[in-house]
Amino acid sequence: MRRDSSSIVAWATTCQVTRGYINIADTTITYNGFNKATYGTPLYATGPADDMVVSLGDHGQAVLSFASPIVNGPGADFTVFENAFNHTFLELAFVEVSSDGRRFVRFPSISLTETFSQVGTFDTIDARKINNLAGKYQALYGTPFDLQDLMDSTGIDLNDINYVKIVDVGGAILDNYTSSDAAGNVINDPWPTPFDTGGFDLDAVGVIHNFAQGIDDAPLSTWILSYPNPFKNKLTFLSNSPGSCYLLFTSADGRILFQQQFEHRTSLDCSSLPTGIYIARLRWKDGTTLTRKVVKE
């Protein structure tokens, strides 16, 4: 997906980076006096893709956040940009998402590149042999990710994704330094990259579906967010539908615990409730209703 695609409705607003070594197998190796990647700043990974990047180094990572939560819409929901200068020299990264910034869930990646010999520093790989790894496409073309791939995951709300984590795969096939895909295959990509630009070069993360967007043909479940889910003490409801909403919050056996009307946003103090499953029933003035299950940890 090109950076100027009309499908992209927003971009990451913040980025925090933990740099990796330029050669994880020998941390005494330096470039301009540093043994970790130094190129770029985290600010370069915010806003639209522009080929200005921050380099992560071997197994380095970046965590990005957004003005409005990413939601699980039809097809791909966000896209990650790297700066590969052609379609075969590819540096790869795992992608993870989180609702609360604590529990991250990784997209199930596939890498079928051979592992008999190391892909060299400037060697190439076949993009057709990888899936759900960022960096699959050349500069200014993003790699798309579909939250539906994580539908069976626990501890995150796919309609309330506030964080995306990018983790450089390293690419080494040496024992003790490998990274593996979801099937246990060793991931082989250009290594070592002993420069200030070592590892994955993060350009941007573009959002395709988010809560603020108000997709006309989106299912009703994307119009109301309940987060975090699971929750501990406070549970917040955020409505993207116009007009007031009536909330009836009950235990699993039907006992009424809270009931109120709100517009756009409300929070419940659930600190006194025991661990378990609860039911939120919502009704709008036009007669539309929605029932959601939430879990207290």
Within-domain flag for 116: yes
The answer, yes or no, to whether residue 287 has pLDDT greater than 80, is no
Residues sharing a CB contact under 8 Å with residue 149, sequence separation 6 or more, in sequence order = 107, 108, 132
Which of 205, 196, 195, 209 is closest to 44 using CA atoms? 205
What is the model's pLDDT at position 216?
38
**Structural domains in the chain (count):** 2
CATH number at residue 287: 2.60.40.3080
Within-domain flag for 217: no
User: Rounded to whole angstroms, what are the CA distances from 243 to 127, 234, 262?
Assistant: 47, 24, 9
What is the model's pLDDT at position 289?
75
Rounded average pLDDT over 50-56? 96
Same domain, 81 and 202: yes
The answer, yes or no, to whether residue 252 has pLDDT greater than 90, is no
Domain containing 276 equals 223-296
pLDDT tens track for 191-244? 999 999 999 999 999 999 887 654 333 444 445 667 787 888 999 888 777 778
Same domain, 128 and 264: no
**Whole-angstrom Cα distance, residue 172 to residue 297?**
39
Same domain, 144 and 283: no
Same domain, 89 and 235: no
pLDDT tens track for 93-133? 999 999 989 999 999 999 999 999 999 999 999 999 999 99
The answer, yes or no, to whether residue 188 has pLDDT greater than 60, is yes
Rounded average pLDDT over 17-27? 98
Select the more confidently predicted residue: 292 or 215. 292
Q: Point out the domain boundary residue: 167, 182, 212.
A: 212
Within-domain flag for 218: no
User: Rounded to whole angstroms, what are the CA distances from 97 to 10, 22, 149, 158, 165?
Assistant: 16, 25, 12, 9, 6
